[in-house]
Amino acid sequence: MNAHVELENKYLLLTPGPLSTSPAVRRVMQRDWCTWDKEYNSLVQDIRQRLVALATSETELYSAVLMQGSGSFSVEAVLGSALPKNGKILIINNGAYGARMVQMARCLNIEVVELVYPETQIPDLSDIEKALSDSSITHVSCVHCETTTGLLNPIEEIGRLVKAAGKVWIVDAMSSFGGVPMDIAKLEIDFLISSANKCIQGVPGFGFILAKREQLQACKGQARSVSLDLYDQWNTMEQHDGKWRFTSPTHVVRAFYQALLELEQEGGVEARYQRYVNNQKCLADGMQKLGFKLVLDTDIPQSPIITTFMYPNTADFSFQELYENLKQAGFVIYPGKVTDLNCFRIGNIGEVYLEDIQRLLAAISVYCQK
């Protein structure tokens, strides 16, 4: 007899990943796969091709590499493989994920120049231009949507400076890829990193890197780790038709394939972006009507991914109480991550629709009247 299994979701995740997935994405994980069987490997190849096609119209220039682990593992694989022994990286840091890249680079003994900004500010282009005059800098990296606050960094403008200076351009688009339209060839991105459980709406278990073929080739022999060797991972997938070097998260990969099909059915990245934008607008407007203030100033580009709100000024406000109350009502929200600010976050990516945001607002309104 089968043990009783809870299949129904207890709450909607309004978090920036893992996020709420569709019933079909969860359902396709019910079967097992053989990792070296041709059928499974061709699924991997199909996924890799679809990812490249989502990222750019210049598909021949780029290739996709899937990497076990959470998104951070893929970021670390890029930093640890792309930088040569005597390389030096400029990291633009205006949030927790920019800071994490700095921490990784230092841990890997990579020389780092850090440009730090407050988490609620966008980086200054003239600072970046000045920093780039250091000819020993070989690589530059930046986060696209800083999930710490939900702001969108100006990767188009930064990328132009980076490429004009002849540096390799790395973008952590973890929480935006698939949910914000972009063409990585036009943006001249050399390495873009994202993961299965963000805007593609899969489940957690692997990350992926979209990179220029020539840049992947250049990573050969440079890795500072065996498991996170980006070149070797790519080369094995290329040479063996979609085979992963080590155990791959088969169920997660199958779920991701389903998530890619659903993204296509929704109308592609542009349509998904519109849905997220509508969710975010409805959320931000509704929350402001309830008296909550946004953390980001209106002149800072706000992503449609996640929004940060200040705690209300009332002395008796408890985030934990709001959290528990909303969880009872079927919604999970996210604590804040901004240093020195009492705030919380609400995400609107995943299988989340306008009706869900309206139901959430109604639940918050009821809570506020208590």
Ligand X SMILES: *Cc1c(COP(=O)(O)O)cnc(C)c1O
Please give the residue ranges that form the binding site for ligand X (CB under 6 A).
16-17, 70-72, 97, 143, 147, 172, 174-175, 195
Question: Which amino acid makes up residue 121?
Answer: Q
Nearer to ligand X, 17 or 242 (CB): 17
| Smallest distance, ligand X to C-beta of residue 143, A | 5
Nearer to ligand X, 147 or 258 (CB): 147
Determine phi and psi for 234, rounding to 5 degrees: -65, -50
Question: Which amino acid makes up residue 152?
Answer: L
| Smallest distance, ligand X to C-beta of residue 206, A | 10
Nearer to ligand X, 41 or 308 (CB): 308
Residue 334, token pair as written in the block: 């996210």
List the beta strands (DSSP E) in the chain: 12-13, 62-68, 88-93, 111-116, 139-143, 145-146, 151-152, 168-172, 191-195, 206-212, 306-310, 331-332, 334-335, 343-347
Closest CA to 209 of 70, 81, 66: 66
Q: Environment class of residue 105 by beta-carbon count within 10 Å: exposed (0-12), middle (13-18) or buried (19+)?
A: buried
Q: Which residue is nearest to ligand X (CB)?
A: 71
Residue 10, token pair as written in the block: 């207890």
| Smallest distance, ligand X to C-beta of residue 265, A | 25
| Smallest distance, ligand X to C-beta of residue 234, A | 20
Nearer to ligand X, 175 or 279 (CB): 175
| Helix (H) and strand (E) counts in the chain | 12, 14
| Smallest distance, ligand X to C-beta of residue 292, A | 22
Nearer to ligand X, 146 or 262 (CB): 146
Nearer to ligand X, 143 or 253 (CB): 143
